[in-house]
Amino acid sequence: MDIENLGTSAVIDAIARTDFLSPFVKSGDKEPSWDGHIYAFSHKSKKNEYYKGRAPVQIKGKLCKKFSEDEFRYPVRAVDLHSYRKEGGTIYFVVQINIDGTCKKIYYNALLPYTINQLLENDENNGKLSVTMYEFPTEKNEITNIVLDFIRDKDRQDLLKCGKNVSIDSVVQGIGLENLSFGFAYTGLGYDYNKPYEYLFNHDTYLYAEQKELNYQVPICHMWRVNAAKTELKIPVCVNGKEYFKSCEIVHRPDRNEIHFGKSIVFKEPHIGNPSMLFSLKGNIDERISAIEFLLAMVENQEIVVDGTSIKTEFYAQEIKKFGIKEKEEQLQHLKIVKEVLESLDVQVPLEYDNITGKDEIYIKMLVQGIRYGDLISFKDEKVPAIGHIPIANLNIMLHFIESADGKYKIENFADDIADCRSEYADGTFFDTSKYTILQTDDFIKISNLRFDKMEQELFSIENMGHFWRVNLMLLEMIKAYDKTKRDVLIYSAIRIGIWLLEKYDDMDMVILNVYQCYYRIRRLSDEELDILEEIAQRRRDNLSIILGAYILLENNRKTKKIWKVMDREAKKEFIKFPIYHIWMNREDESV
């Protein structure tokens, strides 16, 4: 039995049945690495003027007792892969043939430079590599799509014939993200061009980075038959006049379409069979409340309005009842109580319920009992600090704990209580200050219930030199927190506090440096501000730290290094703790 001839004839017959392809393959051809070519045309007449290109082919026959299903692996010589890459690629066919030669099944891999480079990365001894072969289609349009896609991508991957793929990071670094466009192309013969996802479900494609002015294009990703294609529609979703969602997602899958409302609700519309609905409560507390409210409203009204279009939902309403309406109402009530408690504690970000642990649930129950119902809370004879953080999922809530005679604790919001707070001067006398002045860098980073307006109001209500000194130290902690998080609310609050201190504190130069280093982080300093810094640097010869800070903001590296050189070890050790030092260090790093 001539296995190679049987395999070659099977491929020739498959190609010959198409409208736009012509096989030029010789049985038993001794051409190195190839058995011929498939020629492609843009017209069924296949005249020369309609010629689009050709695809080199290699065909192997393989006897087997049982055909593989969708794919199998086949050994290919590394030396042949190197040859294929130099040519720009090869469509590699393996034809499985039954024992008596009466039945054949074709498999293939469209080996383009990007894929060949990936395969050869694993070749250590220039031997044989195991290559996946995929079931070759029998429908003529699908066969044509494979060949035409190959010919197009063969030309687009010319840069990779050198033997190395290009990473997206290197492309962006070399050309700049703003100068690039990204896209893919496909033939799509027999497909609706308005539904590209249908083609992607059944075909692999390459994602390209392009710079048209430089005539530069390079593949950066081989996308294998996608499982889903998603589109977000920015349209209102309402029930009975109330908006529950500002958008919805349409997800196309090979066997069905889906409409996603929020994170919890999915309408499934299969291509074959009846529609169905999936409800799985997900998301943060706000998203979960909206999902349940939407669900219950849909049951009551049996319709939703999407971008002004009414959709009857009697079928889905019946499905919803299977989820347990009473249970959902109880869930909703609980979530609303938790949200109410968190809002009363000034929590400003939604609780991420997907990350809730058993310990978090205990803390939530404690807050509901202590804040909503005013119950005293027992910590099983453990002593609790007067001020402490309660971590719940993504939140970190600062609270005030007041111990009662029976060892239980009253819980209060940190911001709303502790009206009287005092600190001590060096001489032992006391002064009034604010509870907020105890906050450190990590507090400003982590606390979820810090209201900056309340904090500023309290800080500004107290006036004495001891308090001003503590506020200035707190200001530095805020700047450190900003450097770690880049949260605008931190730096702008620090600026407001600094401007207030300028009118109160006797060490005005220090406060000016702190306010100006805030400005420096968000904008260029003005000429007037630079003049003030120059004046401070010239006048404050009594304080090297002040001079050093001024020169850092003036970006005078020569004088900055000169002052740093003459500072003693202890002064340097203290200065390193200041956030202004990191402006200098970051600038030095950038100049390297």
221-268 pLDDT, tens per residue?
A: 998 888 899 999 999 999 999 999 999 999 999 999 999 999 999 999
Q: Is the pLDDT of residue 582 over 50?
A: yes
Q: What is the DSSP letter of 136?
A: P
Q: Is the pLDDT of residue 161 over 70?
A: yes
More confident residue, 99 or 26: 99
Q: Is the pLDDT of residue 334 over 50?
A: yes
More confident residue, 586 or 139: 139
Q: Does 67 map to a domain?
A: yes
- Distance from C-alpha of 205 to C-alpha of 224, rounded to nearest angstrom: 7
Range scoring the smallest mean pLDDT among 252-261, 310-319, 527-536:
310-319
**Strand order through the sheet with 181-183:** 181-183, 205-211, 216-223
- Distance from C-alpha of 206 to C-alpha of 184, rounded to nearest angstrom: 6
| 32 and 154 both lie in a single domain | yes
Q: Which pLDDT does position 418 carry in this prediction?
A: 66
What's the CATH code of the domain at 115?
3.40.1350
Q: How confident is the model at residue 585 (pLDDT cuts 50, 70, 90)?
A: very high
Q: Which pLDDT does position 28 carry in this prediction?
A: 59
| 234 and 156 both lie in a single domain | no
Q: Which pLDDT does position 373 carry in this prediction?
A: 95
Q: Which pLDDT does position 327 carry in this prediction?
A: 92
Structural domains of the chain, count: 2
Phi first, then psi, for residue 110 (nearest 5°) are: -80, 90
Residues constituting the chain: 592
| 14 and 114 both lie in a single domain | yes
Q: Which pLDDT does position 82 carry in this prediction?
A: 93
- Distance from C-alpha of 57 to C-alpha of 33, rounded to nearest angstrom: 9
Q: Give the containing element (helix H, strand E) for 321.
A: helix 314-321
Sign of CA dihedral 316, 318, 319, 321: positive
Q: Of 253, 241, 364, nearest to 310 (Cα)? A: 241
Range scoring the smallest mean pLDDT among 214-228, 481-495, 543-557, 560-574:
214-228
Q: Of 582, 585, 350, nearest to 484 (Cα)? A: 582
Q: Does 348 map to a domain?
A: no
| 150 and 239 both lie in a single domain | no
| 3-class SS of residue 417 | coil
- How would you classify the pairing of strands 248-253 and 256-261? antiparallel
- Distance from C-alpha of 106 to C-alpha of 143, rounded to nearest angstrom: 11
Q: Which pLDDT does position 31 carry in this prediction?
A: 59
DSSP string, 152-171: HHHHHTGGGGGS----HHHH
Q: Among residues of the chain, what percentage have pLDDT more than 70?
A: 97
Q: Which pLDDT does position 100 carry in this prediction?
A: 87
| 12 and 112 both lie in a single domain | yes
Over residues 494-508, the mean pLDDT reads 92
Q: Which pLDDT does position 185 carry in this prediction?
A: 87
Q: Does 288 map to a domain?
A: yes
Sign of CA dihedral 526, 532, 533, 535: positive
| 123 and 234 both lie in a single domain | no
Which are the contacts of 63, defined by CB distance < 8 A and separation ≥ 6? 1, 3, 96, 97, 98, 99
pLDDT digits (tens, 9 = 90+) for 174-206: 888 888 999 888 899 999 888 888 898 888 899
- Distance from C-alpha of 281 to C-alpha of 320, rounded to nearest angstrom: 13
Q: Which pLDDT does position 586 carry in this prediction?
A: 87
Over residues 106-110, the mean pLDDT reads 97
| 7 and 137 both lie in a single domain | yes
Looking at mean pLDDT, say which of 215-224, 303-312, 390-399, 415-424 comes out highest: 390-399
| 130 and 31 both lie in a single domain | yes
Q: Does 405 map to a domain?
A: no
pLDDT digits (tens, 9 = 90+) for 348-370: 999 999 989 999 999 999 999 99
| 146 and 13 both lie in a single domain | yes
Beta-sheet strands, E only, within 161-298: 181-183, 205-211, 216-223, 229-233, 237-239, 242-245, 248-253, 256-261, 265-270, 276-279
Q: Which pLDDT does position 179 carry in this prediction?
A: 87
| 145 and 267 both lie in a single domain | no
Q: Give the containing element (helix H, strand E) for 271.
A: none
Q: How confident is the model at residue 323 (pLDDT cuts 50, 70, 90)?
A: confident
pLDDT digits (tens, 9 = 90+) for 375-419: 999 988 788 898 999 999 999 999 999 999 999 999 999 988 666
Identity (one letter) of the amino acid at 311? I
Tokens of 250: 């349409």
Q: Which pLDDT does position 23 carry in this prediction?
A: 95
| 157 and 263 both lie in a single domain | no
| 3-class SS of residue 386 | coil
Single out the residue in 161, 181, 197 at which a domain terminates.
161
Query: Residue 85 is part of which domain span?
Result: 3-161
Q: How confident is the model at residue 32 (pLDDT cuts 50, 70, 90)?
A: low
Q: Which pLDDT does position 571 carry in this prediction?
A: 94
Q: Which pLDDT does position 525 carry in this prediction?
A: 97
Q: What is the DSSP letter of 45?
A: T
Tokens of 590: 């950038």
Q: Does 315 map to a domain?
A: yes
Which are the contacts of 202, defined by CB distance < 8 A and separation ≥ 6? 142, 225, 254
Give the ranges where 312-434 is alpha helix by DSSP (H).
314-321, 325-344, 358-367
Q: Which pLDDT does position 473 carry in this prediction?
A: 96
Q: Give the containing element (helix H, strand E) for 382.
A: none
Q: Does 531 map to a domain?
A: no
| 128 and 44 both lie in a single domain | yes
Tokens of 18: 């198409």
Tokens of 303: 């319709």
Identity (one letter) of the amino acid at 148? L
pLDDT digits (tens, 9 = 90+) for 430-448: 999 999 999 999 999 999 9
Q: Which pLDDT does position 33 carry in this prediction?
A: 66
Over residues 477-498, the mean pLDDT reads 98
Q: Which pLDDT does position 592 carry in this prediction?
A: 38
Single out the residue in 305, 331, 357 at which a domain terminates.
331
pLDDT digits (tens, 9 = 90+) for 137-160: 999 999 999 999 999 999 999 989
Q: Is the pLDDT of residue 472 over 60?
A: yes
Q: Is the pLDDT of residue 529 over 60?
A: yes
Q: Does 523 map to a domain?
A: no
Single out the residue in 331, 362, 391 at which a domain terminates.
331
Over residues 334-341, the mean pLDDT reads 98
Q: Is the pLDDT of residue 130 over 50?
A: yes
Q: Does 534 map to a domain?
A: no
